[in-house]
A = this chain, B = another copy of it.
């Protein structure tokens, strides 16, 4: 009944605590995407382009199907963005060897350059937050966020290549 000391018993979850957790996610995401968005605008691109460039860079040779599963958008939405990236020479497509229906996606050197430029600020931001918070906090960050991800993608995290 009495007020609860947050530090000693944080698993008695007050509405305040949960709201703080929600807001942290909102503010962090908002500030995390601001700088890349500004850079993308110079290229006539948007956040969707960054996501594609990021995940293609992360998983070279990824298929369109796999990319769709990660982004959870429709193939039409992806196609529009992908077409622009291919046309402008940031991504190249190669036919799959085992399955020739597949278009395997790779960053071109130009694409890698942009990827680095875009993600640079995010990496620095994460690195700074990690360093300031310390090793134990990093482990906590990872386990809480992993717990918020739907089961189907939890396994995808921290594996260099999704099952193909």
For A51, A130, A153, the residue with the greatest tally of chain B CB atoms inside 10 Å of its CB is A130
Residue in chain B with minimal CB distance to A30:
B72
CB < 8 Å: which of B13, B16, B32, B150 contacts A25? Answer: B32
Residues of B contacting A23 with CB < 8 Å? Answer: 58, 157
Chain B residues whose CB sits within 8 angstroms of the CB of A160 once the complex forms:
16
The answer on a CB contact under 8 Å between A142 and B32 is no
Please indicate the chain B residues that have their CB under 8 angstroms from the CB of A34 in the complex. Answer: 72
Our pick among B16, B143, B157 for the contact of A20 (Cβ within 8 Å) is B157
Interface size on A, residues (CB 8 A): 61
Interface mask (A114-158 → B, CB under 8 Å = 1, otherwise 0) = 000001001101111111111111111111111111100100111
Option from B25, B128, B135, B150 in Cβ contact (under 8 Å) with A147: B128
Using A123-B22, A148-B32 as known contacts, say yes or no to A138 and B139 having CB atoms under 8 A apart. no
Copies of this chain in the oligomer = 2
Q: Chain A contact residues: over half helix, strand or loop, or mixed?
A: helix
- Residues of A24-46 at the interface with B, using a CB-CB cut-off of 8 Å, are 24-32, 34
- CB distance A21 to B148 under 8 Å? no
A138-B10 CB under 8 A given contacts A22-B119, A126-B18, A133-B147 = yes
Q: Which residues of B contact A149 (CB under 8 A)?
A: 24, 27-28, 31
Q: A142 touching B21 by the CB < 8 A rule?
A: yes
Q: Are A135 and B10 in contact (CB under 8 A)?
A: yes
